Amino acid sequence: MQTRALAGNVGYSMEQLRALTPVDLKPAFDQASFERLLAPLLRGETSLLVFETEHRRADGTRYPVEVHLQLAMRPQRRVVLAVILDVSARQAAEHETQELSAELTAQGQRFRSLIEDSTDLIALVSADGLIQYLNPAFGTILEHDPEGWIGENLLDLVWPDDRQAAVALLARGLRTPGEGIPWQLRVRHADGAFRWLEGTGTNHLDDPATHGIVINCRDVTARRQSEDVLRENEQRLRVAIDTANLTLFEMDTDLRYTWIYNPQLGYSSDAQIGRTDQELLGDEGLPIMAVKRRALESGQRVREEVTIRQGRVDVTLDLTVEPKRTAAGRVDGVRGASLDVSRFKALQALLVQAQKLETVGQLVGGVAHDYNNMLSVILMNVTHALTVVDPSSPIRADLEDIHQASRRSADLTRQLLAFARKQPVAPKVLDLNQTVSSTCSMLRRIIGEDIVLDWRPGADVAPVNVDPAQLEQVLLNLCLNAQDAIVDVGTVTIATTNVTLDEAYCADHPGSAPGRYVLLTVSDDGTGMDRATLDRIFEPFFTTKEVGRGTGMGLATTYGIAKQNNGFLTASSALGRGTTVGLYLPQAEAEIAGTPLERPATGLRSHGETVLVVEDEEAVLRGTRRLLTDLGYTVLAADTPTKALRVAAEHTGAIHLLLTDLVMPEMNGVDLAGQLKARHPDLKCMLMSAHPAEAHALGPARETIMSVIQKPFTQEALGAAVRAALGGPGLHDLAHP
C-alpha cells in the first residue's frame, strides 16, 4: 500500500506509484539484493528492519531515506509494512554540525597552542583560589612542576608579605566580572627566593567555557630590580645633594626661577618660583644675579664663589651656571647648581688657627723641660728655706708666697701642656660638690666683686670620674663667659644635682644617651643670646666678643671635655633672660678617690738607704741632694751618666736607689738604669721628668723603672716617691704636688 505522502515526495501520481515495485524506488538495489535484505524478516529472525538508503524521484534525483520494515501477519498471508522517512534535512543538519565541530576543534587547538606556547604564565583558578590549569610557562618562570600544583591554593605560591594584597585582589575580581584587574606581586620560586610577577586577573566564572578566573602574567623581576637600583641611586643622589647643601635650579631669560630643588637661604621652592634673587635677597642677591647673567649673555659655563650677608653671618656660595638651550639651539635661560661652602671656608679658617695652635703647642712643649727645671730649683729651695726659717721670722710669709706661686706656676705649665695636648688626661673618681667648693674661691676672685657667685650644691650627689684639671677648666670657661654676659652687676649660679635620662629625653636631645648623670649647671642673669647665636656657641673659634677679647675656644674646649669624659653639654638662653649651660657627667660606680694629703717629712725619712742622684742641671742636682739629705738619706751625686757609672763602680757600699733625670747628655736615664741594673740587680730605679710626654713615651722601657716623678716636686712628694720606690708595692706615678 502506497501513501499519498510518498507519492508527493517522489513525484509520482498514485496511479503511477501503484504500478511500481520497491526496487523501482531504490536505485541501489536490484531484486536479488532486496530479497536478501528481507530474508531475515521473512524467516522470523527479526521483527523490525531499520536501514538508510536512497530513493529515486520521478525526475531521477535521489534523496536519503530511513526505512523501517516490519512483518505483519494477515489471514492467509504475510504483509511487510514499510515506514519511509525523508532524512535529507537531518543529514544536512548533521553534516553542518560536523563541519562546525571540526572548525571549533581546530580553533580550540589553535587557542590551546597559543596558551601552551606563550611565554606568559597563564592560569585558571576557581572562585576559592584553587588552581585548575597552568600553562608550561609556569614551569619555565618559577621552575615548579605545573601538574603538582593543580588543585592547590594559589595563595600558597604568593610571598608571605604579599598575601594580604593577593586576597584583596581576588576579592575585587570576584566583585567585578569581566574586568581585568591589574596586579604586581612576589611569588615563590622553586629555589626558595621570590620573583616579581605582573599581570591581570579576569573573572570568567559566569562563562560556561572557562568557569573560573583567568590570570595572565609575566616575570618582571629584572625590571623591578633595575627600578630598585634606579630608586636607590636617585635616593643616594638626593641624600648627597641634601647633605652637601647643594641647590639645583633653572631660570628663564629674565633670571626668574622656573624650577628649583633643595633651596637654600631659608626659602621654600614655592616662594622662589617666578622670582629673581634680587627680589628674594634684596641687594645681597645682585652679585648672584651677576654671575648668572654672565652665563646667559656669554653662552658659556661660569663658575664663581659669591659671599653674601644673611642675618649676622656670611654665607659663601659656589655657583656653577650654564646656558639652557632649546632643541633648536637658542638660549632660553640658565641652569646650574649652588653649593653652600660656608662650612668649608670656616674649616679653612679653623685649619689656619689649628696650625697656629700647633705651633704654640710645639713651643710650649719645647720650653716645658727647661721651665720645669727652673721651677724645681725654686720650689726645692723655698721648701728647704721653709724648714730652716723660724715660723716667727718676718720673711716666713714671703717664702710661703714664693712657695704658693711656684706651685701655681707648676699648675700653669700643666694646663698649657694640656691645651697643647702634650699632657695625658688623668681622670679620678671625685666628689663633685667638694671639687667645685674648693674652686669657688678662685672663681670669685676671677669674676670680680660686682658679680655674686651663688654656689648651690645638691644633696647626695653621686661621684663622677673626671680629670680634676679638666673640670676646673670647664668651670673657669663657663664663669668667664658668664662674666662677659653680665653688664655691671649680676649673679652667676653654680649648682649640682643627680639626674636620670630616659629614651624619650634623649630622642629630643641629640648627643645624649640614656643613663644616670650628675648635672653641673652654670647660670647667669646676663644679656642672653638669640637663637642663631645659641646654635653656634660650641663651634670652634665662634665668638661674639670683640677682636682681642676671646678666641672662641672656651665653649668648644668645654664641649670636647664633656665628650672626652662620656658626657655632653646643653645650653639654653634668650635675649635679656640670661644663659644656662649644663654639663652632664656619668655617675661613677667606684668609690671616691682619697685626697692626697701633705705628709710630714718625719714620716718619709730614710731607713738607712743610699741614693744615687744623676741630674745634668747643677741647681736641680744640688736641691734634690739637699732634700734627700734632710730626709736622712746617704746621697751620691753625679751631673752626667758617665760620672754616675764611675761613682757607682767606686762606691764600696750598697746603692739602694737610682734617681735619675730622663733627658741628659751622653745617654738618657733609661739606658743608664739598664747599665747599672746589669751590675747591681737589686738596684731600684726612679726617673725624674720635666715634661710629662717624655715619661709617657717610654712604653715598654718603663718595665725597668720603678716609678716616675714629675718636676717640679716638693720635699714631701719626693720623700713619698723615694719611699714607694724602695719599699712600695710597685710601679706608680706621682703627679705634680
Instruction: Give whole-number Cα distances, 694 to 15, 69, 455, in Å.
Output: 152, 137, 39
Position with higher pLDDT, 138 vs 88: 138
Distance of alpha carbon 128 from alpha carbon 145, whole angstroms: 21
Could you tell me if 424 and 462 are in contact, meaning their C-beta atoms sit under 8 angstroms apart?
Answer: no
pLDDT at 614 over 90: yes
- State what percent of residues in the chain have pLDDT above 70: 77
Lowest mean pLDDT: which of 375-389, 557-571, 690-704?
Answer: 690-704
Looking at the predicted structure, is the pLDDT value of residue 597 above 60? no
pLDDT tens digit sequence for 717-731 = 888 888 888 874 333
pLDDT band at 458 (very low <50, low <70, confident <90, very high): very high
pLDDT the model gives residue 588? 86
pLDDT digits (tens, 9 = 90+) for 238-252: 666 666 678 889 999
CB 317 within 8 A of CB 338: yes
The region of weakest confidence among 161-170, 574-583, 598-607 is 598-607
- Candidates 624, 511, 612, 632; CA nearest to 571 is 511
pLDDT in tens, 183-233: 888 999 988 888 999 888 888 888 776 788 888 888 888 888 888 888 887
Q: For position 108, what pLDDT does the model report?
A: 56
Give domain 601-734's CATH superfamily.
Response regulator (3.40.50.2300)
Q: Which residue has the higher pLDDT, 34 or 324?
A: 324
Lowest mean pLDDT among 17-26, 334-343, 413-422: 413-422
- Give the CA radius of gyration of the chain: 55
Tens-place pLDDT, residues 305-351: 998 887 767 888 899 999 999 888 899 999 998 888 877 776 676 56
Domain ranges of the chain: 4-86, 118-225, 244-340, 432-586, 601-734
pLDDT band at residue 405 using 50, 70 and 90 as cut-offs: confident
Using the predicted structure, report yes or no on whether residue 356 has a pLDDT greater than 70.
no
Residue 172, pLDDT above cutoff 60: yes
- Per-residue pLDDT of 10-21, as tens digits, reads 667 777 766 676
Residue 736 contacts residue 411 (beta carbons within 8 Å)? yes
Domain 244-340 shares a fold with domain 601-734: no
d(CA 186, CA 221): 9
Place of cell 682619697: 594
**Residue 75 reports pLDDT greater than 50:** yes
What does the pLDDT average to over 444-458?
86
Decide yes or no: CATH 3.30.450.20 for domain 4-86.
yes
- pLDDT reported for residue 646: 92
CA distances from 348 to 156, 310, 649 (A): 62, 20, 60
pLDDT value, residue 602: 44
Cell 591589574, located at residue: 182
pLDDT score, position 360: 58
Per-residue confidence (pLDDT) for residue 704, from 0 to 100: 55
**What is the CATH number that goes with domain 118-225?**
3.30.450.20
Calculate the CA 506 to chain-centre distance: 18
Q: Distance from CA of residue 632 to its chain's centroid?
A: 65
Angle ∠(78,84,85) on CA atoms, nearest 5: 155
For the cut 80, the answer to whether the pLDDT of residue 699 exceeds it is no
pLDDT tens-place string over residues 525-551: 888 888 777 766 766 545 555 444 444
Q: Residue 362: pLDDT above 80? A: no
pLDDT value of residue 702:
54
More confident residue, 61 or 215: 215
Least confident of 272-276, 603-607, 618-622: 603-607
* 601 has pLDDT over 50: no
pLDDT of residue 60: 73
Q: What is the pLDDT of residue 206?
A: 80
Task: Give yes or no for residue 113 having a pLDDT over 80.
Answer: no
CATH topology of domain 244-340: Beta-Lactamase (3.30.450)
Q: Is 694:369 a contact under the CB 8 Å cutoff?
A: yes
Which range has the top average pLDDT, 154-163, 306-315, 380-389? 154-163
Contact 413, 577 (CB under 8 A): no
Read off φ and ψ for residue 48, nearest 5 degrees: -150, 130
Residue 388: strand, helix, or coil: helix
The class that CATH gives domain 432-586 is: alpha beta
Residue with cell 716623678: 709
Amino acid identity, position 153 = N
Whole-number average pLDDT of the chain: 79
pLDDT at res. 244: 60
559 burial level (CB within 10 Å; 0-12, 13-18, 19+): buried
Among 334-348, 542-556, 655-669, 691-705, top mean pLDDT goes to: 655-669
- Asked whether residue 154 carries a pLDDT value surpassing 70, the answer given is yes
Determine the average pLDDT of the residues in 100-119: 68
- CA 692 – CA 283 distance, rounded (Å): 56
Report the percentage of the chain scoring pLDDT > 90.
14
Lateral strand order in the sheet of 515-524 = 451-456, 490-501, 515-524, 579-586, 568-573
